[in-house]
Amino acid sequence: MNTISEFLKNPFSLKTAVGYKNMVWGVSLMLMAASYSIDNKVFRLIVTIIALIMSILSLATLFHKKENEDEMYARHIGKASDLTVGLITLLLMLLAFLSSPIQKLFSMEQVLFFAAGLAGFLQGLLFNAFEKTGY
């Protein structure tokens, strides 16, 4: 049976080190965006602490050993990043177009945290999909 210490002794796969790290980081930023809407201070604090822990775990993967990067890694991370930038740019342009109704519902901090979180999540998701399919 694998334990956490055995898991941490082995190098992370690129899928874990890059893909899941970006997804966790993205979700933590989206949680921060959601916490701005919560009126209950205790619940807001809990969501903020969870997001902080997720961000720290995401950053910790940068210092853990991982598999060597290869040509396919560079190709997949480049494609995932390019597609993510395009989608986030499109989303931000749409949000700018709809800025008046959106400002009544969400603050600018919420929108920016959510967009940044979505970018991280999408990049990780797309990277993992490209790694899995070899596309």
Instruction: Give the pLDDT confidence of 78-123 residue by residue, as tens digits.
Output: 888 898 989 988 888 887 787 777 777 777 778 888 888 899 899 9
Phi, psi of 30 (to 5 degrees): -65, -35
Structure tokens at 102: 């959106």
Full domain range(s) for residue 123: 4-133
Number of independent structural domains in the chain: 1
What pTM was estimated for this model as a whole?
A: 0.73
The C-alpha atoms of residue 24 and residue 60 are separated, in whole angstroms, by 12
CA distance 76 to 125: 11
